C-alpha cells in the first residue's frame, strides 16, 4: 500500500496548532498526510522547541519515511534550527510562509519596548541569528506584500525612517505583509521564493498559498 507523505505543519508566534487547520485540509486534498505540531512560542526558546519536535518525531514517525515541513512565521525558524540540529531525518521539502529568515524589524522594536510580548522567541530566532540552512535542504519561501496587520504601526514608522535616511527607495524595498518585510523573508540558500498578495496571517487561509505550497512540496519549485 502506498504511504502518503507526511507534512508537519508548524504555527507561528502567539498561535496554536488549529490555525493551520485549513492549510492541513487543503494539503490532505492534494494527497498528503498532515500533523499540526504545537509548541510554546513565548515560554520556550527555539532550541527547546526544536528538540521537542525531534522527540515527538522519534515517538511518532518512521525515520525511513521522508518528512515534509511547512511553517508560518516563527515556525519557519524552528524548521531552520531543526534541520540543522537533527540531520539524521530524511527531509523531503520545506516551505516557509512569511518567515523572517533575515530577522524581524518588527520584533526588534517590540523587544526594545515590550520584551515580554515576544518572550524567548527573539534570541537565536527573530533576531536573525538562527542556524544556517544545510545545503541539501530544498526550501521554498512564500512572502506576502499586503501591508495590513498588527505590526503595521512599527513598519510604517520604520519605513518613514528609511525614507528620511536614504536618497531613493523602491516600493519593493518597503513592501511587507503587515508584520514581516518581503526582504526579511529572503534567504540565499532557498530553492525558490515567491511573493503573493496576502497579509501575514491571511496567507494561512488563502487557497492560492496552499496550492503553491503543495506544488513546491511535489515539484521543488513554485508554479509560475
Q: DSSP secondary structure string, 34-88?
A: EEEE---TTTS-HHHHHHHHHHHHHHHS-TTS-EEEEEETHHHHHHHHHHHH-TT
Residues 6+ apart with CB under 8 A from 74: 12, 13, 41, 99, 121, 125, 126
pLDDT at residue 18 in the model: 94
Q: Which residue has the higher pLDDT, 41 or 46?
A: 46
Residues 6+ apart with CB under 8 A from 60: 35
pLDDT at residue 1 in the model: 38
Mean pLDDT of 113-142: 85
What's the whole-model pTM score? Answer: 0.90
Residues of the chain with pLDDT > 70: what percent?
A: 91
CA–CA separation, 217 and 202 (whole Å): 20
Q: Calculate the alpha carbon distances from 204 to 34, 60, 176, 212, 219 in Å.
A: 15, 25, 16, 12, 21
pLDDT surpasses 90 at 223: yes
CA–CA separation, 63 and 22 (whole Å): 27
pLDDT at residue 165 in the model: 64
pLDDT surpasses 70 at 167: no
- What is the rounded average pLDDT for all residues in the chain? 89
9: left (phi over 0), alpha (psi -120 to 50) or beta: beta
Mean pLDDT of 47-72: 95
Q: Which domains does the chain have, with CATH numbers?
A: 6-219 (3.40.50.1820)
Mean pLDDT of 46-74: 94
pLDDT at residue 200 in the model: 95
What phi, psi does 125 have (nearest 5°)? Answer: -145, -90
pLDDT digits (tens, 9 = 90+) for 6-43: 999 999 988 889 999 999 999 999 999 999 999 988 78
Amino acid at each position: 500500500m502506498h504511504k502518503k507523505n507526511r507534512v508537519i505543519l508548524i504555527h507561528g508566534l502567539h498561535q496554536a496548532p488549529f490555525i493551520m487547520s485549513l492549510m492541513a485540509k487543503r494539503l490532505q486534498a492534494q494527497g498528503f498526510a498532515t500533523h499540526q505540531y504545537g509548541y510554546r512560542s513565548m515560554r520556550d526558546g527555539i532550541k527547546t522547541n526544536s528538540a521537542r519536535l525531534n522527540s515527538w518525531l522519534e515517538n511518532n514517525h518512521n525515520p525511513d519515511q521522508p518528512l515534509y515541513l511547512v511553517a508560518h512565521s516563527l515556525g519557519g525558524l524552528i524548521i531552520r534550527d531543526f534541520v540543522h540540529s537533527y540531520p539524521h531525518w530524511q527531509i523531503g521539502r520545506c516551505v516557509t510562509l512569511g518567515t523572517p529568515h533575515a530577522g524581524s524589524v518588527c520584533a526588534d522594536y517590540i523587544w526594545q519596548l515590550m520584551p515580554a510580548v515576544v518572550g524567548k522567541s527573539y534570541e537565536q530566532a527573530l533576531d536573525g541569528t538562527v542556524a544556517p540552512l544545510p545545503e541539501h535542504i530544498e526550501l521554498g519561501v512564500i512572502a506576502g506584500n499586503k501591508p495590513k496587520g498588527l505590526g503595521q504601526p512599527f513598519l510604517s514608522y520604520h519605513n518613514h525612517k528609511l525614507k528620511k535616511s536614504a536618497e531613493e527607495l523602491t516600493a519593493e524595498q518597503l513592501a511587507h505583509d503587515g508584520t514581516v518585510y518581503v526582504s526579511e523573508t529572503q534567504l540565499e540558500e532557498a530553492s525558490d521564493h515567491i511573493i503573493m498578495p496576502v497579509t501575514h496571517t491571511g496567507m494561512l487561509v488563502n487557497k492560492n498559498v496552499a496550492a503553491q505550497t503543495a506544488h513546491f512540496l511535489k515539484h521543488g519549485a513554485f508554479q509560475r
